[in-house]
Structure 1
Amino acid sequence: MNYRYQMSSISFGGPLTPVVKKIILACVGVFVVQLVAENPMIQYFSLIPEAVLGNFYLWQPFTYMFLHGGIFHLLFNMLALFMFGCEMERHWGSQRFLRYYLVTGIGAGLCVFFIPSTYHIPTIGASGAIYGVLLAYGMTFPDRIIYMYMIFPLQARYFVMIIGGIAFLSSLSTANTGISNIAHLGGMVFGYLYLRVKPGNLLYPIKGAYYKWKLRRAKKKFMVYLNKKERDRDKNHMIH
């Protein structure tokens, strides 16, 4: 299926696609607001598990991915989004790409909840979603050449394996590096599940457990009914 966009060209990397453009503009706009109101933005819109669980700031697993910790953090994330996200949006179409981006970004944020020792630490940045986009790129275009560190040519599949391995090993470390490696890894995991596992298959174990519970409940009710009938019959026999 072909998709046609009204796109503005930039000097390298191909044309800028609609959803990628909107995400970049949103992140840049939020960053400008951070420059003048950093503390309130971090307090209310970064991802702080304590605030989500204690104060019910349920929007934070969504909003955190639009905040960034500095100009270079923003620049590198948006550059990666442009380089790989535009290609995926052209390949998938805007709706599917946006859905995937949000699923991986929110999924990456939810993975932060697996580390209770960091519940009080704010997490910000689009890196989790970006890692999800990188995974999708490697799975969709495995033979494309990517220059790691702008020097070493690698096929996309191996590039994704390397950064995934780095994210996994880094997530095992207890050192406080200021980088949420568990979110990076989570973005890739949620991306893989989204691409490889059908929604029906994800729900199948839940449905199976629910139907088993209903069956056990029905059997229990039926046994109670039979026992009651048996007691009533015995009572009637005793009266006669």
Structure 2
Amino acid sequence: MNYRPSLNMPPVVKNLILVNVLFFLVTKIVGQTGTDLYKVLGLYFPASDNFRMHQLFTHMFMHGSIGHIFFNMFALYMFGRVLESVWGPKRFLTFFLVTGLGAAALHIFVMFIEYKSAISQISPDQLAYFKELAAQGKYIPNTASEKITSLLSTPTVGASGAVFGILLGFGMLFPNTELMLLFPPIPIKAKYFVIGYGVLELVLGLSQPGSNVAHFAHLGGMLFGYFMIRYWNKNSNSFY
């Protein structure tokens, strides 16, 4: 399949970027008044008192820093506009939301495993005490308390899961398209770039548990994107 590069932004990509930028600006402005929107709209582990169902959606539009939102929105623009031009607005938006939710699902599953591992080391009374500390943002260093506090009090934010799904989608639709890496500045086919990125995220996720980067959320976006495209290919003769 071939496509013609265009600098024009299709409607869903344009509106997603606008919404993300708006959320970021409002979060930073409101934060100056002492209101922490990350606590309201970021995604917390379901065992946390801060968890709310709407966070499964809203966390996709929250970002922690200028660098965070810039790279996510740049990737959304570069690859998302191509996919939307092929699929159309409705299918692309569905893909974005499903991969974002899939990323959250895998991320929460991994957090659940880590949480069960942490609480298996302590008694119910200790767990209750550690939860009280976590609610205050405190913990006992180098113990299960530190891990539990991190899991219960740290929100996950960003569109990275959906963006990684979009990257996977681009690699599946245009596997032989050459991309130019920044470091090092060499060309690489999209399929190898996607595979390499996926392997890197898996290695980092396994070797750096508790990292500030949600590596398994990235993998979740790619995984759900893969199965969604396979499903569309199987059930729609006009998909391509």
Q: TM-score, normalised to structure 1's length?
A: 0.73
- The equivalences for 1:101-116 within 5 A come to 101-114=96-109, 115-116=111-112
2:146 corresponds in structure 1 to none
Task: Select the residue among 12, 16, 28 that pairs with 1:19.
Answer: 12
RMSD: 2.3
Identity of aligned residues (%): 40
Distance apart, 1:200 and its partner CA: 10
Query: Closer, same or farther in 2 for the Cα pair 1:56/1:78, shift >3 Å?
Result: closer
Highest RCO, 1 vs 2 (Cα 8 Å, sep ≥ 6):
2
1:221 corresponds in structure 2 to none
Aligned letter for 1:29?
Answer: L
2:157 corresponds in structure 1 to 124
Query: How many pairs align?
Result: 189
Q: Is contact 1:148–1:159 with CA below 8 Å preserved after alignment? A: no
- The equivalences for 1:58-73 within 5 A come to 58-73=53-68
Corresponding residue SS for 1:154: strand
In 1, Cα distance between the equivalents of 2:50 and 2:62? Answer: 20
Whether 2:187 is the aligned partner of 1:153: answer: yes
- Structure 2 unaligned regions, length at least 5: 116-150, 236-240
In 2, Cα distance between the equivalents of 1:154 and 1:169? Answer: 21
Corresponding residue SS for 1:146: strand
Whether 2:32 is the aligned partner of 1:32: answer: no
Aligned letter for 1:159?
Answer: F
Task: Select the residue among 183, 187, 197 that pairs with 2:231.
Answer: 197
Q: Which has the larger radius of gyration?
A: 1
Distance apart, 1:199 and its partner CA: 11
In 2, Cα distance between the equivalents of 1:107 and 1:72? Answer: 24
- The equivalences for 1:140-219 within 5 A come to 140-149=173-182, 151-197=185-231
Q: Is contact 2:79–2:167 with CA below 8 Å preserved after alignment? A: yes
Q: Is contact 1:17–1:89 with CA below 8 Å preserved after alignment? A: yes
Distance apart, 1:175 and its partner CA: 4.5
Distance apart, 1:123 and its partner CA: 0.4
Q: TM-score, normalised to structure 2's length?
A: 0.73
- Structure 1 unaligned regions, length at least 5: 1-11, 202-240
